[in-house]
Amino acid sequence: QVQLVESGGGSVQAGGSLRLSCVASGYAARTPCMAWFRQVPGKEREGVASINRRFGSTTSADSVKGRFTISQDNAKNTLYLQMNSLKPEDTAMYYCAAGASDGGFCVRTLRRYNFWGQGTQVTVSS
């Protein structure tokens, strides 16, 4: 049973924008936290941004602050990642994740998330 489905990836030139979407269903639609992670071959998966479903509070990695925005539409069970001013180093497979909080906070720690989407590729050319 597929519970997280991402879309919106693609190829863009540096300085461009993309918006990723993730539709949640089943148990994945009821977890307290959702997040976006990204991974390039040979490197660990890193947390990009997270959001608390109930309060809407967010966190983001320093590398994307001011450029990426995580948001949600709870009525549609959909998570978004608006990516602006994209750089070649943002090239990666992006994953949507749903999981538990850490003391009430939605952190960007891999082990807190037990539901994962299939990933969507983002490629930024210089």
What are residue 102's DSSP bridge partners?
A: 105
pLDDT in tens, 42-51: 999 999 999 9
Average pLDDT (15-31) is: 96
Residue 109's Cβ-side half-sphere holds a number of Cα atoms within 13 Å equal to 9
Q: Which of 119, 108, 114 is nearest to 62 (CA)?
A: 108
Q: How confident is the model at residue 104 (pLDDT cuts 50, 70, 90)?
A: confident
Q: What are phi and psi of 78, to 5 degrees?
A: -125, 135
Q: What is the mean pLDDT of residues 93-97?
A: 98
**Taking Cα atoms as reference points, which of 10, 2, 23, 30 lies closest to residue 90?**
10
pLDDT score, position 2: 74
